[in-house]
Structure 1
Amino acid sequence: MTLLGELYAAGLGVPQNDQKAAEWYAFAAGRGDREAMFALAMFRLGGRAGPKDLGEAARLLAAAAKLGHAAAAYDLGLFYVEGQLFPQDLGRAAELFRTAAAAGSAEAQYALAVLHKEGRGVPQNPAEAARLLERAAVAGIVDAQVEYAIALFNGTGVTKDEARAAIWFRRAAMRGNAVAQNRLARLLSAGRGLTADPVEAVKWHLVAKAGGAGDPFMEDYAQKQTPEVRQNAEKAAQGWLEMLRQSRS
């Protein structure tokens, strides 16, 4: 039943039909299938096959979460963080994030890391925050890669390691994160964690600036470089700058 719902939802082998998809998901959810509960919750959140119904979506997410659905637990936790459908309850959100994180949800690992970092809903715990950030970073959550790199660079909750920090900043920078691009530019300008490289430093500064992460320090650094360095950096940055222009057009 759930698979039939997915086929109708995506139009695979049959004409796309949200109404039929919702009907099959409802049949399966009524028989205890957690995947169908989650899928139907997403329909209710998005207003597919009917009007939006946040209350019904939350009910379905809670049912799926009780059956061990990681994404459902994470999404339900977000409701408690936002405090719109339910009164804000960061402690309850942390419980749900912890359940989802243990089940392998990288998004939940990052969300729980942020709560531990800030001491919201859970005791402030830099070491636990760093541990969760690393797991989420390895799983590919870009914001977690940036936060983990910052923790490594500062030695917050983890042994200080500027070289490893540079690796994670570069990974996030290559994924288009402007903050990481700016931090990488600074490391390259100072030779911290990796070999100093003025051309690469100015290149990443130009890319970060175009992405919204301007930096007066790096702007001054760039202006102090030779014309040749600036020209080579601008040339190296062209591909990135063109991608940014295209993404905005």
Structure 2
Amino acid sequence: MPWRLLRFGLNSKHPEPRMFSDVQALKPSYDVVIIGAGGHGLAAAYYLAREHGITNVAVLEKGYIGGGNTGRNTTIIRSNYLTPEGVKFYDTSVKLWQDLSEDFDLNLFYSTRGHFTLAHTDSAVRTMRWRAEVNKHYGVDSELVGPDFIKRACPSIDISCNGHAPILGALYHAPGSIARHDAVAWGYGRGACQRGVEIHQQTAVTGIEVKGGKVVGVQTSRGHIATNKVLCAVAGSTPRL
């Protein structure tokens, strides 16, 4: 381990301020309650504050920031989907990613490397061609490529797959990128905190209170919170709520 890293880790005084404000008590009510402090929940809080001036917001997280799906994904950033809605939605997302490190003043290790979706059957090749044409129609850089192209780009790949289901082609998506996904949660969280949003970790939501067909509050492991707007961004834990 480098000496500088060890020295920094053992030092009780750090030159950088805390990433997130140390909020203790829950207020009795908030304009907005966001359940889940992952990428989606923290992004919503960040943009509500930055773009709309809505800062009386509580983000409630049963564990720790970015400890759920955000910390366990494939790191891939792409927009080479099939449906028109998906292509346009994710293309906007890809463009947001390109400037996030600058927006956050935090290195997300965003790196554009290109993305291959491999096809091992004739039907898969047809689907890749279909996706490529849909992508091109909406201005997204994707194309169907053959085994030679794949081999040149990835010399170590075994096109034959050792004789089992060889690679026949691929959908190549040049803007495909990767990033440090947990840092995205930290960046959104810090930006939201700096604008007045409260993030409460170790605070589990146990129920959403509804009266007359409208949300009026949430029940948590730390008590009741009144609110008329709730965003549930808990990925795989959604059925529990």
Q: Normalised by the shorter chain, which TM-score bucket?
A: under 0.3
Structure with greater helix share of residues: 1
Work out which structure has the larger RCO, using CA pairs closer than 8 Å and 6 or more positions apart in sequence.
2
With the length of structure 1 as denominator, give the TM-score of the two structures: 0.21
- The structure carrying a bigger strand percent of its residues is 2
Normalising by structure 2, we get a TM-score of: 0.21
